[in-house]
Amino acid sequence: MLSERFEGFGSWEDAGIARRDDAAAFGDRGVAELPLGFELDPGSLALNQYAGTDPRRAVVDFFKSASFYDLHMSALRGIDDSDPAMRPDRLGPHGEHLGHILGRIAELDPDAKETLDAYLSAMIPNAIGLDQRSELDGTVSAVEGRFAAKSGDTELKVQRWALSEGTLRLGGILAALLQPHVFDGAIPFIGIEEPEKALHPPKLGLLYEILAAASQNTQVMVTTQSPDLLDNKEARPEHILAVENIDAATVVGPLDEVGCSLFNDKILTLTELLRVGSMHPARVNPETEGPDGEPA
């Protein structure tokens, strides 16, 4: 999602980028355009053709440093038999190298690993932690969970194939938010697609709190259609960009004045606004209109 401002180098206009309805145009008169919907990832060679001198280079560097996640069960549950010397210290976009990242968190930042396990325990019944499992002298990496036994005085180790989808997905989200490069500034932005998948709805309000806490270390944005994710007293209208299809166009913007008023007057919560379909983006035409279509 293109944002009006990115921390560290100001606005898109400062970077020589013109905003259009269907593209972000780089350079004078849009000499080169990056169409909206173009797939961006840290390894995208196409990004380099849009990089000129500073400050445009800052935009490209930002996208190449950011991490975007659409977690897949095959990656989260899979065996990582890649060359141990070549494994990245960054969780893969689908959850690749989860076991390795859990191991690196435990090695480099025990406090972050303790936080990860505490969050997991709070959201997954009987869970104690999620760890790396190394096999064949460390050449193979996978994930294993620790759970409380019924007797309460021992731990049970649960292998990757027996872990629930919710446990693995939450583990992937937590590893993404607490991986070492989040804290050293190498990952300035994290985007996560539908983090609520496979998680128990009553616990999703806590997930919002986890995401908000992670935003103290890096910029965090998630896409969601879940009202339950907003069931947290810390959720605020200013945290939200609403998305709506209007006249065959996708409109993204801050919550409109009506929605903000309903929330501020305590008529509806953000959860209720989304559930009843009253969460709409403010519409702005910078040439003729102000917020919500009012004449400028």
Q: Kindly state whether residue 161 falls inside one of the protein's structural domains.
A: yes
Q: Kindly state whether residue 9 falls inside one of the protein's structural domains.
A: no
pLDDT digit string, tens, across residues 151-172? 767 889 999 999 999 999 999 9
Q: Are residues 115 and 154 in the same domain?
A: yes
Q: Which two tokens stand for residue 145?
A: 């969970």
* Amino acid 18: pLDDT: 42
d(CA 72, CA 35): 26
pLDDT (average), residues 108-128: 96
Q: Are residues 246 and 229 in the same domain?
A: no
Q: Are residues 189 and 121 in the same domain?
A: yes
Q: In terms of residue numbers, what domain contains 279?
A: 236-296
d(CA 182, CA 176): 8
Confidence label for 138 from pLDDT (cuts 50, 70 and 90): confident
pLDDT of 269 higher than 90: yes
Q: Are residues 245 and 263 in the same domain?
A: yes
Q: Are residues 103 and 131 in the same domain?
A: yes
Identify which of 89, 112, 115 has the alpha carbon closest to the alpha carbon of residue 101.
89
Q: Residue 143 sits in a domain of what CATH number? A: 3.40.50.300
Q: Kindly state whether residue 75 falls inside one of the protein's structural domains.
A: yes
More confident residue, 273 or 295: 273
Phi, psi of 33 (to 5 degrees): -120, 145
Cβ-proximal residues to 141 (8 Å cutoff; 6+ apart), any chain: 79, 80, 81, 84, 87, 97, 99, 100, 103, 132, 133, 134, 135
Whether the CB-CB separation of 160 and 37 falls below 8 Å is answered with no
* Amino acid 111: pLDDT: 97
Q: Are residues 106 and 209 in the same domain?
A: yes
Phi, psi of 140 (to 5 degrees): -125, 135
pLDDT (average), residues 176-202: 94
Confidence label for 289 from pLDDT (cuts 50, 70 and 90): low
Give the SS3 label for residue 290: coil
**CA 279 → CA 89, 153, 205, 261, 289, distances in Å?**
38, 48, 18, 11, 20
Percent of the chain whose predicted confidence (pLDDT) is above 90: 63
d(CA 242, CA 134): 43
Q: Kindly state whether residue 60 falls inside one of the protein's structural domains.
A: no
Confidence label for 259 from pLDDT (cuts 50, 70 and 90): very high
Of 182, 207, 233, the position where a domain reaches its end is 233
pLDDT digit string, tens, across residues 63-104? 788 999 999 999 999 999 999 999 999 999 999 999 999 999
Q: Are residues 216 and 296 in the same domain?
A: no
Q: Are residues 103 and 210 in the same domain?
A: yes
Q: Are residues 136 and 269 in the same domain?
A: no
Model-level pTM?
A: 0.79
Q: Kindly state whether residue 166 falls inside one of the protein's structural domains.
A: yes
